[in-house]
Amino acid sequence: MHVFPFQPNYRELFVGLDALVPQVKGGLAPAINFDNAATTPPLMKVMAEINQFAPFYSSIHRGAGYKSVLSSQIYERARKTVLAFVGGLSDLNTVIFVKNTTEAINKLSYRLWNPRKKEVILTTWMEHHSNLLPWRDKYQVDYVELNEQGGLNLEDLEQKLLHYQGAVKLVAVSGASNVTGIMNPIHRIAEIAHRYQARILVDAAQLAPHAAIDMRPHHSPEHIDFLAFSAHKMYAPFGIGVLIGPSQVFEQGNPEYSGGGTVKFVTKDQVFWDDPPHKEEAGTPNILGVVALVAAIETLRSIGMKTVYKQEERLLNYTQKKMEKMTGIELYAPLNTPRIGVIPFNVVGMDHEEVAQALSREGGIAVRNGCFCASPYVQKLLRISDRELGNIINNPLLPHPGIVRISFGLYNTLEEVNQMLSVLQGIIILEQRKTKLLSNSVKQGYTSKTFSYYNNNI
């Protein structure tokens, strides 16, 4: 039996980790969730705060009643908590509450947009679609190339900034990849971008839950201008996200959504917009989401983001080192580059979907497979040419390319990892036996009927 060194127990901080799911061999077992990059289970404190606040739930900014005033205070105070969590200055920045990172980035894409000019946005080949598509329809978009490790080629970033001669409006980059977990050197990127008069947006959907963020003061060349993240990836799944940026940027222009809550005054012909952030938050705000987010931030801060990172780094290193020793596994991100706890892999000869389904069926282990809403990045990691991809897309009979992804949360344990490794080993052995049988049967002239019998009876 493997004896693990002391592991802090964070499991009791979370809801639902002991929930039982049906197993293929019969009976029920606790589900193992290695799909935290998609979304995360709620913290106990999040649920407790929601329940405590619920009796006082009321409309924000619109009522004179006690509950309404209280709700408004809690909502407004939360902006400071969010800023403190990411080292943002409250006198210069505004915190806009949105649904999620996708909405935050779309909002910024409208706010910075000048329809009379086709301005340049530099994004990268490792982005989530949410940090690609909102830019494509309004700007000229260019992409920073990858380096050997699958991270960003900073020389290419600088070359591109030089090439556009100060015309790049924004460098839009992920803080950490949802495919490889690779963490980008955001302050170094900010420093380079600022040298060429470009601002920087960090898509922190994967960074905020797993590592400390410091936006740094505005006078620092390394400061982060805009930051976006989602609460559902940081243990507060109540439909809230944030966009942070200089207040001054949001004072200009019209919001992309208008309506209740966005104005100071409306006449028959005129609109007097409210100041940001209110101007950017059309409709009734999501106060329960905000309560949940604050509770999650308080919990994470009390543990300490450095501790969170170290805990997940331990899971990452342990798991990947074990997987590197297994035959039949292809890994797509090296350990010698800073990463959050995400491991992209494939089993040689098996479709990514087959592997993910087998992990779930055989071990109650939830992972994700496919392209993770980052198709251009996955295409590059799998070294698929545009022509090959075109053929695949146009042929419905061909399986779509993809990868299997393990992604850790704070509560995952080495025991869970070992369980997963043993199920994965079983899947690989079975696959290797199948391949051997197939090649033997081809040699011996058996028909494909034999193989399908084997396939259906294992």
Site residues for ligand PMP, window 2-61 (CB under 6 A)?
37
Minimum distance from residue 101 beta carbon to ligand PMP (Å): 4
* CB closer to ligand PMP, 230 vs 262: 230
Q: At what angle do helices 305-325 and 414-444 cross, to 10 degrees?
A: 30
Q: Is 101 in the site for ligand PMP (CB under 6 A)?
A: yes
Minimum distance from residue 206 beta carbon to ligand PMP (Å): 5
Q: Is 109 in the site for ligand PMP (CB under 6 A)?
A: no
* CB closer to ligand PMP, 196 vs 309: 309
Site residues for ligand PMP, window 358-397 (CB under 6 A)?
373
Distance, CA of 59 to CA of 72 (rounded, Å): 8
**Parallel, antiparallel, or unpaired: how do β-strands 120-124 and 140-144 relate?**
parallel
Catalytic-role residue among 120, 215, 373, 427:
373
Question: Which residues fall within 8 angstroms of residue 177, CB to CB, at 6 or more apart?
Answer: 126, 150, 184, 206, 342, 374, 377
Q: Where are the alpha helices (DSSP H) in 131-283?
A: 133-136, 154-163, 186-195, 247-251
Q: Is 174 in the site for ligand PMP (CB under 6 A)?
A: yes
Nearest to 404 by CA among 335, 350, 345: 345
Q: Which of 106, 123, 124, 130 binds ligand PMP (CB under 6 A)?
A: 130
Distance, CA of 67 to CA of 56 (rounded, Å): 5
Nearest to 72 by CA among 97, 102, 51: 97
Nearest to 183 by CA among 156, 203, 163, 199: 203
Question: Which residues fall within 8 angstroms of residue 154, CB to CB, at 6 or more apart?
Answer: 185, 188, 189, 192
Minimum distance from residue 200 beta carbon to ligand PMP (Å): 15
**Cβ proximity of 254 and 113 under 8 Å:** no
Minimum distance from residue 205 beta carbon to ligand PMP (Å): 4
Q: Is 100 in the site for ligand PMP (CB under 6 A)?
A: yes
* CB closer to ligand PMP, 287 vs 340: 340
* CB closer to ligand PMP, 169 vs 233: 233
Q: Which of 33, 106, 109, 230 binds ligand PMP (CB under 6 A)?
A: 230
Minimum distance from residue 204 beta carbon to ligand PMP (Å): 8
Site residues for ligand PMP, window 176-215 (CB under 6 A)?
178, 203, 205-206
Site residues for ligand PMP, window 235-264 (CB under 6 A)?
none
Minimum distance from residue 245 beta carbon to ligand PMP (Å): 16
* CB closer to ligand PMP, 241 vs 364: 241
Q: Which of 33, 40, 102, 319 binds ligand PMP (CB under 6 A)?
A: 102
Applying CB under 6 A, the site for ligand PMP has a residue count of 14
Distance, CA of 355 to CA of 368 (rounded, Å): 10
Distance, CA of 280 to CA of 110 (rounded, Å): 11
Q: Which residues pair with 242 in a beta bridge?
A: 97, 229
Any catalytic annotation for residue 373? yes
Q: Is 339 in the site for ligand PMP (CB under 6 A)?
A: no
Minimum distance from residue 15 beta carbon to ligand PMP (Å): 19
Here's the x/- map for ligand PMP, 290-329, by CB under 6 A: it reads as: ----------------------------------------
Minimum distance from residue 237 beta carbon to ligand PMP (Å): 10
Angle at 431 between CA 427 and CA 437, to 5 degrees: 145
Residue 95 phi, psi (nearest 5) = -110, 115
* CB closer to ligand PMP, 203 vs 312: 203
* CB closer to ligand PMP, 290 vs 424: 290
* CB closer to ligand PMP, 98 vs 428: 98
> Read out DSSP for 265-331?
EE-SS-EEEPPTTGGG--SS--HHHHHHHHHHHHHHHHH-HHHHHHHHHHHHHHHHHHHHHSTTEEE
169 burial level (CB within 10 Å; 0-12, 13-18, 19+): buried
Q: Indicate which residues carry an active-site annotation.
A: 373
Site for ligand PMP, rule CB under 6 A: 37, 100-102, 128, 130-131, 174, 178, 203, 205-206, 230, 373
